[in-house]
Structures are given as C-alpha cells and as structure tokens.
C-alpha cells in the first residue's frame, strides 16, 4: 500500500503563565517608588538596561545610595519625597516597593490609569509584569520565570544555565550586533547572508572564548563568496534521528533541524525529536513503516530534489542512523543525479541504543569478538536469500537483526538448520530507548513464539549472542551482592 506525503502541522502553543518579552529601555524614564534594599536591586537592574530611573522615597537605604552613586548605565536620580500620580505620567514602566497592600494598590491603580505597566515587588496580585531570574551574556539575555511559584527553583535553573553558557558568548552576540548592517552592505544575496550567519554561529559555538575580530568577519564573507552560485542552491541533509530518545540526538543533528526550511520525516521518528526543529519549518510526513502504508521511495526522492531545487534547506530525518538500513544510498544517488549538494549527519543506530538501554556491551573479549547487523527482509519484503548463515551461527558473534518481525520464524528455522545453537541467548526490544520500551528475553529457539504472544509495537529489533547471557549473569551477581 502507498500513500502521499502529508504535512504535519506544528503543535499549538500550550498555555503560557507569562508572556516573555524584553523591554527596550535605553533613554527612557522609569519610575521607582521605595528606597529599600529590594528597591535598590531593581534600580540597578533597570539602570543596567539603559533607562533613567527616578526613585521616590522618604528615605533611602545605604544600598540605594551606593547604586545611585555608581549607576551601571542609565542615570539614577534619588528624589527624597513620596511619589505622586503625576510622577508616573509618561514613564516607560513603574515599579513599587511597599510593605502595605493599600499603598501597593494605590500605586498600581495610578500606573494603570496613566497607561504605564506596573510591577510591585513581591506582590504579584498588583503586577502587570514580573521579573525573572536572568542569565546575562548581553546582548544575549535569558529570562527565567516560574510565575512567582518557585523563585528558588528559577535561581537553580539560572545557575545551571550560567555553567553551561560560556562568558565569551557575550562577545560573539555583541559582534553579531555590530556586523548585521555590515553584512547587508556586502551585497550578498539573502541565501548568502544566511550562510554567513550559519558560519558565524558554528564558529562562535566552537570558539566561544575567542575574541571575535574583523578578520573573522572578512573570512566568513570570503568563504561565502567562495561558494559561488552554490550558496543560492538548496541542500539536502540526511539526519539520523536516533532510536527514539530525543536526548540521543547529536549536536550537529540539532543544528541541522534548527536551520531547516523543510523536514521530511518517517513514522518511526519520535515526535520529541521534532521539538528540536525550527518552529517555522514545514514538516512533511513521508511515512515509511514496515509492511504498512508507505510513501514510495521514488516519490520521496523526487520531492526531496524538487524542494532543494527551489532553494530550500531540506532535512531528510530518518530513524536511527540513515546509513544503516535507511536507504541513504538511494537518496544520495538521487541528489547526485540532480546536482544537489547532500550531506549526512549520522545518528545512533537502534542496536546501539537498545544495547545501552539494557546495559549490554555489544562486544566482549570473552564472549563476542565480532558484531554484525543484518536485515530481516529484502526489497521484496521476503527473507533475504543471501544471508551468511555460517556467520549468523558463529558462537562468538553478536548479531542485531533489523526489521525482523514478519520473517523471524523463517530466519530462525533456517539458521538452526545451518548450525545456530537454539540455546543462544536472544532479546527482542520494541521502541528502544523510549519511555514505553519493551523487552522480551529468551533463547533464539523460543523467541518467535514469545513474540507472537506479546504482539510488541514497532519498531522491533532482535539481538542474539553470548553477550546477552553474560550480561544477565553479571546482573544476577550484582543483585545477590546487593
């Protein structure tokens, strides 16, 4: 049975407790009522964003006076009296620090009457907006909010992000700001400018602590110009989505997904993987499931080439590794015949993912000195007639059988007749690495009957070899010791 490619609509945005926005405050006036320590911190924050801060209070804490004397950026003016509604008029925002709810309500009402967004520190019921925890690599800025539910949790997340993001990102983000107009002035086409920023991003990510220089700018421009007309052509990238767990994606795969214009994906690709894609990218399901309705390979090739010829960056997203039983050769041939540039981003293949989830070494000096991957069906859907049965029966080999379900009974019967020990340890792993992974352990002689009873959901991988028994023995010894 065949079917046509169908577009997968992006999931609707789920409910947001707060809309994250970033105010441009340089040169604008912000009113702040209160002179406490908490008010001083907000004053410093607003000044750092470039605003002039008019602070109204009957008295000021030492912290407030110290911040005003050494403003981070925008001027801080201390006005030693209480605020009035006329003070708020024309301000970009109003911030209050009050212990008394009555004062807080009056301040919030006055700000809203003046059409000014208002925040009252630690009193969310009087706030139009809130301040989150901040990771500052300005002009790269990350805000974190828990809608006031767990500020300590937000700070813990901030600390993790601080550790992950090199301080040098600030220099690269600043360079991007300086170079944006320069890139436009080069006369490069839209596609070439996009390529410039891709090169910029890759270099910045791998050289975060290096200081960006004009030589970097010149080199990126030269490299883009060196691509010639090819830069305006579309590309195809075959990306391995791994066995299912989105966290097993490679960094290069994530970058490809985040820069794609169109993503052609199979049914077997976990939807969690698609969450890494650029939201604006078109996502087309070109379903290829074993023995189910599938798009014809020739149709997929034609669509992939057609989109690339339109100048699109096409990602062909395939379960596992595209180079292992993923028809990558046919798709690369189609691109080459059409003169389309294509590259491959390898992924973790199903056997590796399944072995890792089972805590199993695919090779072992005592039990397995060879590893082989075979497919359970040929192009016709039947059992391949050219399987090396002697290799399959080799007692020091670990074998992973891909797409085995329909032909497993015939395969096992033939392998046993060719010398495979029926007591060879085996396992069938369904939906490897995913939360709903299921595993059936057996001997290879009994596995097919167990599979018939279990009716596992696809995709299913079968593994056999002495390493499975060795791992079971280790696990049992560990359990006894515990």
pLDDT greater than 60 at residue 474: no
246-287 confidence digits (pLDDT tens): 999 998 999 899 889 999 998 888 888 998 898 888 999 987
What structural domains does the chain harbor?
29-131 (3.40.50.720), 233-348 (3.40.1010.10), 351-479 (3.30.950.10)
Q: What is the pLDDT of residue 291?
A: 52
Share of the chain above pLDDT 90, in %: 63
Judge contact between 400 and 461, C-beta under 8 A: yes
Judge contact between 246 and 275, C-beta under 8 A: yes
Mean pLDDT of the chain: 89
- Cα–Cα dist 55/95, whole Å: 9
471 pLDDT tier (thresholds 50, 70, 90): low
137-183 confidence digits (pLDDT tens): 989 999 998 887 788 898 899 999 998 889 999 999 999 999 999 99
pTM value surpassing 0.75:
no
Q: What is the pLDDT of residue 302?
A: 94
pLDDT, mean of residues 178-197:
91
Examine residue 139 and say whether the peptide bond preceding it is cis (omega within 30 degrees of 0). Answer: yes
pLDDT greater than 70 at residue 478: no
Question: Which 3 state secondary structure label does DSSP give 225?
Answer: helix
pLDDT greater than 70 at residue 6: yes
Q: What is the pLDDT of residue 288?
A: 60
Q: What is the pLDDT of residue 348?
A: 95
pLDDT, mean of residues 58-62:
94
pLDDT greater than 80 at residue 9: no
Cα–Cα distances in angstroms (integers) from residue 454 to residues 292, 328, 404, 457, in the given order? 19, 32, 15, 9
Residues known to be catalytic: 266, 288
More confident residue, 480 or 130: 130
More confident residue, 401 or 18: 401
Cα–Cα distances in angstroms (integers) from residue 385 to residues 148, 178, 401, 412, 459, in the given order? 65, 63, 15, 13, 23
pLDDT greater than 70 at residue 441: yes
Strand arrangement, sheet containing 341-345: 6-7, 282-285, 262-265, 313-318, 235-240, 341-345
Q: Show Cβ contacts of residue 378 under 8 Å, excluding neighbours closer than 6 positions.
A: 384, 385
Residue 264 pairs in a beta bridge with 284, 316
pLDDT greater than 80 at residue 222: yes
Residue 52 pairs in a beta bridge with 29
Question: Which 3 state secondary structure label does DSSP give 31?
Answer: strand
pLDDT greater than 70 at residue 482: no
481 pLDDT tier (thresholds 50, 70, 90): very low
- Cα–Cα dist 417/480, whole Å: 38
479 pLDDT tier (thresholds 50, 70, 90): very low
Which of these ranges, 4-13, 20-29, 79-88, 359-368, has the smallest mean pLDDT? 4-13
pLDDT greater than 60 at residue 477: no
356-375 confidence digits (pLDDT tens): 999 999 998 888 889 999 99
pLDDT greater than 50 at residue 473: no
First to last CA, the chain: 53
């Amino acid at each position: 049975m065949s079917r046509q490619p169908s577009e997968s609509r992006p999931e609707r945005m789920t409910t947001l407790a707060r809309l994250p926005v970033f105010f441009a405050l340089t040169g604008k006036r912000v009113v702040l009522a209160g002179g406490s320590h908490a008010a001083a911190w907000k004053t410093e924050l607003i000044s750092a964003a470039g605003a002039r801060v008019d602070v109204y209070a009957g008295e000021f804490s030492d912290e407030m006076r110290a911040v005003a004397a050494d403003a981070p950026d925008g001027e801080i003016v201390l006005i030693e009296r209480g605020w009035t509604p006329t003070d708020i008029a024309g301000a970009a925002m109003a911030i209050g620090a009050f212990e008394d709810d009555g004062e807080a309500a009056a301040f919030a009402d006055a700000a809203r009457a003046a059409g000014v967004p208002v925040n009252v520190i630690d009193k969310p019921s009087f706030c139009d907006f809130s301040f989150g925890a901040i990771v500052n690599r300005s002009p790269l800025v990350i805000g974190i909010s828990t809608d006031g539910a767990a500020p300590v949790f937000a700070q813990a997340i901030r600390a993790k992000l601080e550790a992950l993001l090199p301080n040098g990102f600030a220099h690269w983000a600043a360079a991007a700001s300086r170079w944006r107009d320069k890139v436009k002035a080069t006369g490069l086409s839209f596609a070439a400018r996009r390529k410039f920023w891709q090169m910029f991003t890759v270099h910045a990510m791998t050289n975060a602590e290096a200081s960006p220089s004009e030589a970097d700018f010149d080199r990126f421009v030269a490299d883009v110009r060196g691509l010639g007309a090819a830069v305006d052509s579309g590309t195809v990238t075959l990306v391995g989505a791994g066995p299912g767990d989105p966290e097993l994606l490679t960094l290069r795969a994530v970058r490809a997904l985040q820069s794609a214009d169109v993503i052609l994906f199979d049914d077997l690709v976990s939807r969690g993987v698609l969450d890494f894609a650029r939201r604006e990218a078109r996502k087309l399901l070109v379903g290829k499931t074993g023995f189910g309705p599938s798009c014809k390979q020739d149709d997929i090739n034609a669509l992939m080439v057609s989109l690339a010829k339109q100048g699109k960056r096409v990602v062909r997203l395939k379960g596992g590794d595209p180079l292992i039983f993923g028809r990558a050769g046919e798709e690369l041939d189609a691109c080459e015949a059409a003169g389309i540039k294509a590259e491959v981003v390898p992924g973790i293949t199903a056997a590796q993912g399944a072995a890792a989830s089972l805590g199993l070494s695919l090779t072992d000096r005592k039990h397995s000195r060879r590893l082989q991957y075979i497919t359970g069906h040929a192009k016709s859907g039947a059992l391949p007639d050219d399987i090396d049965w002697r290799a399959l029966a080799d007692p020091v080999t670990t074998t992973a059988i891909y797409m085995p379900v329909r032909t497993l009974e015939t395969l096992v019967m033939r392998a046993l007749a060719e010398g495979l020990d029926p007591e060879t340890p085996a396992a069938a792993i369904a939906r490897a690495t995913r939360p709903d992974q299921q595993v059936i352990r057996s001997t290879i002689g009994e596995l097919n009957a167990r599979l018939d009873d279990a009716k596992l959901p696809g995709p299913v991988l079968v593994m056999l070899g002495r390493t499975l028994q060795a791992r079971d023995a280790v696990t049992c010894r560990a359990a006894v010791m515990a």
